[in-house]
Amino acid sequence: MNPFDWKVIDGALQGVVEHPFPIVMGSDGAGVVEAVGVDVETFRPGDRVYGQFMKVGLGRGSYAEFAVAPAEGKLALLPESLSFPVAAALPTASVAAYQAVEEARLDSGRTILVNGASGGVGQSAVQFAAETGARVIATGPADLGDHLRSLGASEVVDFTA
């Protein structure tokens, strides 16, 4: 569950963002295409997909047996190497990480600290930053050190020590 979802549940967005009832939460999701609209050429029934449902309309999320999503811009084909649960956790976290790394304007001569690298945003940020050639220092629990290094961290600082 993303922060957006729990903020809606907590009522933090009450009066800020209108939504229909009953609310179906789920700003991110993954699943199999059941049917497509007449003009849709991007996807076919049976395709495995994942993406953001947040922009579809608050209250019409992915925590449902069936969900509606626009064919353009918010969904992508799901690689066979990714499971549905992993893919469903990626969209919002990965977009946030990508935007942060882009803003940092990293290159091979720079160093970045990814604080909280063991979470969804952090793990994505480590990978995106490593792709730029920058030196990546990650903070996280010691038991995830090898995993964070496998994602591209040069060093891992145990934030539990």
Co-location of 71 and 96 in the same domain = no
Co-location of 61 and 9 in the same domain = yes
Point out the domain boundary residue: 29, 58, 85.
85
* Mean pLDDT, all residues of the chain: 89
Co-location of 61 and 120 in the same domain = no
What's the rounded Cα separation, in Å, for the pair 128 and 98? 6
Q: How confident is the model at residue 154 (pLDDT cuts 50, 70, 90)?
A: very high
> Model confidence over 68-79: pLDDT tens digits?
887 777 889 999
Q: How confident is the model at residue 61 (pLDDT cuts 50, 70, 90)?
A: confident
Co-location of 74 and 44 in the same domain = yes
Co-location of 34 and 99 in the same domain = no
Co-location of 77 and 4 in the same domain = yes
Point out the domain boundary residue: 46, 61, 85.
85
> Model confidence over 93-124: pLDDT tens digits?
999 999 999 999 998 989 999 999 999 999 99
Co-location of 12 and 38 in the same domain = yes
Co-location of 71 and 21 in the same domain = yes
Q: Can you give the residue range of the structural domain that contains 127?
A: 91-158
Res. 58: pLDDT tops 70: no
> What is the model's pTM?
0.77
Q: What is the CATH classification number for the domain harbouring 81?
A: 3.90.180.10
Co-location of 81 and 104 in the same domain = no
CB atoms near residue 160 (< 10 Å): 8
Q: What is the CATH classification number for the domain harbouring 112?
A: 3.40.50.720
Q: How many domains does the chain have?
A: 2
